Amino acid sequence: MAAFERKKTRRVLIGNVAIGMDEPIRIQSMTNTKTADVKATVEQILALEKAGCELIRSTVNTKEAAAAFSEIKKEIHIPLIADIHFDYRLAIKAIENGADKIRINPGNIGDRKRVQEVVSAAKERQVAIRVGVNLGSLEKELRETKGATPEALVESALKNAGMIEDMGYDNLVISIKASDIPTAVKAHELLSEKTDHPLHVGITEAGTALYGSIKSAIGLTQILTRGIGDTIRVSLSADPVLEVRAARQILRTLGLRKEGVEVVSCPTCGRTDIDLIALAEEVTRRTEDIALPIKVACMGCVVNGPGEAKDADLAICGGKGEGLLLKKGEVVRKVKEEELVEALLTEINILQNEQTLF
């Protein structure tokens, strides 16, 4: 498990999912459908749930989007968060339509009276508020005095959270976002020292699937290994299902979550006599939504493969036109190359059924 201690934050309930304190670090994503298109939004959320998403956020940019919240909620199984920009009335409408949390940047909601109205609506229904600030939307005054710095970001977040606390509501989550990793890491360190509200963490606008996942992994690793973060989002210009898979992989690699099949595979070399790359790709694809916490190794040869696959729950090691199937390092049987993937998946299924029984 993780070799670092998580900072204790307050426990906050979002719908039926708790975050903070000793709760697992939760995986969040955001839909990219038109929220008012209930059918498309529900379909996407169900696919995200299957991939392991635990909290979902949808933009509420129109009255129709706010109204759609009550319909969407009937069809999904995870808390639905409303993302609000500028219009305080939409925040109130989203709360009235069942939002489990709202994300606002009080700085762009307008005057204090409007923020107060949003806070009163949230308080009435005990809906958590995420105060989200990012470098791009820093208050003018802060930008002029402190520049686009981690200190300015933290000051802005604390000032806005403080304003809501002064209004008598502390059911809060905070997020600060920067796309530059050193700035983001420093800002999270500073913020975490100054608050015990749960923090939603991520590297904003990270990029496209591959490069954005790498950038997010580098940034999030630095933040999470400092014990900071209660929910995460990997922000990609890609299908949000990939965000969830990347988030799950990051958390599992750091020992912060166990769920999911970890597929390790060798890079192939001159000894490889089977199409290992295609095989590893297929195993990865067909196991990526399975929550069973096991390690599966796909190795290209029987010379180094069994040794390297020793600590895997299941492994396949390629030969010529065939391969070995191994369980906990022990050879189970020889399998024809074209049947290797199915043989492995059958074993994974057996493990899944065993887990359900016990």
Q: Which span sits near ligand SF4 by CB under 6 A: 51-59, 153-161, 185-193, 302-310?
A: 302-310
Q: How far is the CB of 271 from ligand SF4 (least distance, A)?
A: 4
Asked if residue 304 binds ligand SF4 (CB under 6 A), the reply is yes
139 token code pair: 């208050």
Q: How far is the CB of 305 from ligand SF4 (least distance, A)?
A: 5
Q: Does residue number 306 form part of the binding site for ligand SF4 (CB under 6 A)?
A: no
For residues 198 and 12, the answer to whether their CB atoms sit within 8 Å is yes
- Which position among 300, 323, 335, 341 is part of the footprint of ligand SF4 (CB under 6 A)? 300
Name the β-bridge partners of 201: 232
Q: Residue 201, interface with ligand SF4 (CB under 6 A)?
A: no
87: closest CA among 118, 56, 58?
118
Stretch that binds ligand SF4, among 68-76, 100-108, 293-301, 347-355 (CB under 6 A): 293-301
Cβ count near 346 (within 10 Å) = 11
Shortest spacing between CB 174 and ligand SF4, in angstroms? 45
| Cα–Cα distance list, 263 to 4, 279, 283 (Å) | 24, 11, 8
At residue 293, what is the residue type? Answer: P
Cα of first residue to Cα of last residue in the chain, in angstroms, is 22
Beta strand residue intervals within the chain, DSSP E: 12-14, 17-19, 26-30, 55-59, 80-83, 101-104, 128-134, 172-177, 200-201, 207-208, 231-232, 236-237, 262-265, 295-299, 314-318, 322-327, 330-336
**What is the widest separation between alpha-carbon atoms in the chain?**
73
Q: Segment near ligand SF4 (CB under 6 A), from 11-19, 86-94, 100-108, 299-307? A: 299-307
Least distance (Å) from ligand SF4 to the CB of residue 351?
A: 23
- With contacts defined by CB under 6 A, name the span among 12-20, 79-87, 173-181, 300-308 that binds ligand SF4: 300-308
From residue 265 to residue 284, what is the string marking binding to ligand SF4 with x (rule CB under 6 A)? -xxxx-xx------------
Closest residue to ligand SF4, Cβ-based?
A: 300
Residue 32's CB is within 10 A of a number of other CB atoms, namely 16
Please give the residue ranges that form the binding site for ligand SF4 (CB under 6 A).
266-269, 271-272, 299-301, 303-305, 308
